[in-house]
Chain A
Amino acid sequence: MILVFIEHKDGVLNKTSLEAITAAQAIAKDINDRVSAVIPCDDDKGLAQEIANYDLEKVIVATNPKLNVYTPDGYADAWAEIIKREKPQYVVMSHTYQVRDFAPKVAARFDREVLADVIRYRKEEGKFVFTRRIFLGKLDADVVLQGEAPYFVTFQSGAFRPDKAEKGSAKIEKVEVNVSEIRMSPEEPFQETKSEVDLTKSEIIVAVGRGIKSQENIALAQQLADVLGGDLAASRPICDAEWLPIDRQIGSSGQTVAPKLYIALGISGAIQHVVGMKNSQVIVAINKDPEAPIFDIADYGIVGDLFDAVPVMIEEIKKLKG
């Protein structure tokens, strides 16, 4: 058995769980096994029915009133019980913030750890070889699992396609799980500020990273965005330094965008940024460091000083638009 985690908020599916289903189905094919989905909740609000439309052995609805909101303690107890019951070979999840919070805890209960944030896997001499990005995206590492099942694996967002999850018809099984003391009390989730800009609707984005060096220099990037009729965005360090407001942040903790043109100025291309923009139609990277991982996903690159390149770009575009 392979178990796959279905993440949700009040019964509303987190779409990355469909990627996890695709991943789990692929692994199942390779080891000739079946996949079951697990939904920890108080009330699944019809989510189990939605998930039952995929090619799964069964959808396990792990219920307890204490699972009405997410807590790491509650989810760890629910998962521990389901794993003891089902004795899975693999437990597959998407590498979301919530999974990062509870999955290592569940694994530790079984004297295991998580093979986390995997971007792809292959079968080699009957064994799985998983690939992770390391050194902030600069290198890849091939990693193998040792020891006995269960194996815990999480996949990076985008590693598998949500629309490739195979459809089918699964039975739904409701399991009342035990949850012991919850040692943390959550308040209501909230959004910090209403966004001023909706970058997801931008056709052209000029994004700045550490390479912009100072807040004053952002004006240069703004000029480029202006002549292109685009919007200004940034990587996390720029927003952390409050050089630009947080609603301009692209990446796992900010917005996910896919404009026609994405120009990355002085952005190295750490995974946390890349996941937020890699689906852009055309990506341009300007960076001094030829080894910067941003060049791996760029269509066009300039290795050099952005302060040399950008003023020339602005002039050239002005000429074009005459």
Chain B
Amino acid sequence: MKIVVLMKQVVNKDAVLRIKADCSWIEESDVALQTSESDGYALEEALRLREAKGQGEVVVCSVGTHAAKSVIKDALARGANRGIHIINNEPHKLSPYQTAKMIAEVIKGENPDLIFTGLQSDDLGYGQTGVILAELLGIPHATIVIEIDRSSLSDTLRVKRELESGWYQWFNYRLPALFTIQSGISQIRYASLKGIMEAKKKEIKEIVMDAPAFSSAQKIQKVYLPVKTKQTQILGNGDAKRGAVELVEKLKNEARVI
């Protein structure tokens, strides 16, 4: 069984974002980076499925700058078998269709049984690269998968989708298929020291690729801090204890909710 896992490098969740002077994007030069959260779960699910089957290969694929190599190396240290790095210097300019097209071209020849990816990235959050890729490859898909039945027979897979308001639904798929994985599906493993050492010997194929022409791409004109819809009273002026005293007073006498 061959599983391709698509992983994206994004800015760190807690990073303070600075907007470029021309408002075209954020300053990326000195910002901390990490793997998009749900992509980490997609990898974990692939590794667990390979282990349950007792055989197979997990191939990590990432589209990104040279820095994105760290996402692949980290995945290899956790147990992925090899990596494919599609190098593009301005990945934030890629629309989801363009990204899907680039990945489709590269992994067509891999003929994977399964493709896993996170349900949406923590930066642009398009949430559709996986679905478009499935359509381009002509394979079925499911999004927002929250559980995988690892006892499924070899050419089928039973997956649980999360619906809204606490509802769920199992679907049965014949492989090949693509699934987008929800965060929290399982506990993510840490890379062991042995894993980190072994990762150094694992193959990472590099492919430099420009954005494919696509006339219907959505285009970001500018980015900015959200316009506040509410007047927020910040209390305590940095002193949380004083803020707490003021807050209780306001909730009692101004908002009158306690």
Complex partner residue of B140 from A73, A103, A255, CB under 8 angstroms:
A73
Q: Which of A73, A144, A316 contacts B248 (CB 8 A)?
A: A316
Q: Is the CB of B123 within 8 A of A140?
A: no
Contact A296 B169 (CB under 8 A): no
Q: Which of A73, A113, A186 contacts B97 (CB 8 A)?
A: A113
Which B residues are in CB contact (< 8 Å) with A115?
A: 218
The answer to whether the Cβ of B29 comes within 8 Å of any Cβ in the partner chain is no
Cross-chain contact B240 with A189 (CB below 8 angstroms): no
Chain A residues within an 8 Å CB radius of B11: 135
Chain A neighbourhood of B97, CB < 8 A: 107-108, 111-113
For this complex, into which size category does the number of interface residues on chain A fall? 35 or more
Query: 9 closest A-B pairs (Cβ-Cβ)?
Result: A304-B240, A240-B184, A147-B216, A104-B128, A312-B244, A302-B243, A308-B240, A104-B131, A316-B248
Cα A286 to Cα B127 in complex, Å, equals 30
| Contact indicator B244/A316 (Cβ below 8 Å) | yes
Most chain A CB atoms below 10 A, which of B168, B230, B247: B247
Residues of chain B within 8 A of A108, CB atoms compared: 97, 100, 131-132, 135-136
Contact call A100/B127, Cβ cutoff below 8 A: yes
**Given A112-B97, A113-B95: A137 touches B216 (CB 8 Å cut-off):** no
Asked if A145 is at the interface of the complex by the 8 Å CB criterion, the answer is yes
B134-153 vs A: 1/0 string, CB under 8 Å? Answer: 11100011111000000000
Instruction: Flag whether B55 is at the interface (Cβ < 8 A).
Output: no
CB distance from A212 to the nearest CB of B (A): 15
In this complex, what residue of B is CB-closest to A286?
A: B240
Bound complex: CA of A299 vs CA of B222, how far in Å? 28
Report, as a range, how many residues of chain B touch the other chain.
35 or more
What are 27 sample pairs from A and B whose C-beta atoms fall under 8 A apart?
A100-B119, A105-B135, A108-B136, A113-B128, A139-B26, A142-B223, A143-B221, A183-B140, A184-B172, A185-B171, A186-B170, A187-B169, A189-B169, A190-B169, A191-B168, A192-B168, A204-B258, A255-B165, A255-B166, A300-B255, A302-B243, A305-B240, A312-B244, A313-B244, A313-B247, A316-B249, A320-B252
Q: Contact mask B109-134 → A, CB, 8 Å, 1/0? A: 00000000001001111111001101
Given known A-B contacts A72-B142, A302-B235, A316-B248, A97 and B221 have beta carbons under 8 A apart: no
A300-322 contacts to B (CB < 8 Å): 300-306, 308-310, 312-313, 316-317, 320
Pick from A289, A296, A302: contact of B244, CB below 8 A: A302
What residues of B have a CB within 8 angstroms of the CB of A252 in the complex? Answer: 164
B231's closest neighbor in chain A, by CB? Answer: A299
With an 8 A cutoff between CB atoms, is B96 at the interface? yes
Residues of B within 8 Å of A240, CB to CB, are 183-184
Quick check: is B228 within 8 A (CB to CB) of the other chain? Answer: yes
Considering the chains assembled together, what is the distance between the CA atoms of A320 and B253 in angstroms? Answer: 11
Starting from the known contacts A189-B163, A308-B240, 17 additional A-B residue pairs (CB-CB under 8 Å) come to A100-B144, A116-B128, A139-B26, A140-B225, A141-B220, A143-B218, A147-B217, A183-B173, A204-B257, A228-B258, A247-B166, A261-B255, A296-B232, A304-B239, A309-B240, A310-B244, A312-B241
Are B169 and A134 in touch, CB under 8 angstroms? Answer: no
> B16 near A: Cβ within 8 Å?
yes
Q: In whole Å, how far is A160's beta carbon from the nearest beta carbon of chain B?
A: 15
Q: A261 — which chain B residues lie within 8 A by C-beta? A: 251, 255, 257-258
Q: Which residues of A contact B13 (CB under 8 A)?
A: 136, 268
List the A residue with the shortest CB-CB distance to B170.
A187
Report how far A298 CA is from B36 CA in the complex, Å. Answer: 27
**Is A97 within 8 A of B240, CB to CB?**
no
A146 interfacial by beta-carbon distance below 8 Å: yes
Any B CB within 8 A of the CB of A114: yes
Q: Are B167 and A190 in contact (CB under 8 A)?
A: yes
Would you call B257 and A260 a contact (CB within 8 A)? yes
Chain A contacts of B95 at CB under 8 A? 113
Check A57 for interface membership: any CB of B closer than 8 A: no
A86 CB-CB contact with B under 8 Å: no
Taking a contact as CB atoms under 8 Å apart, the answer to whether B248 and A146 are in contact is no
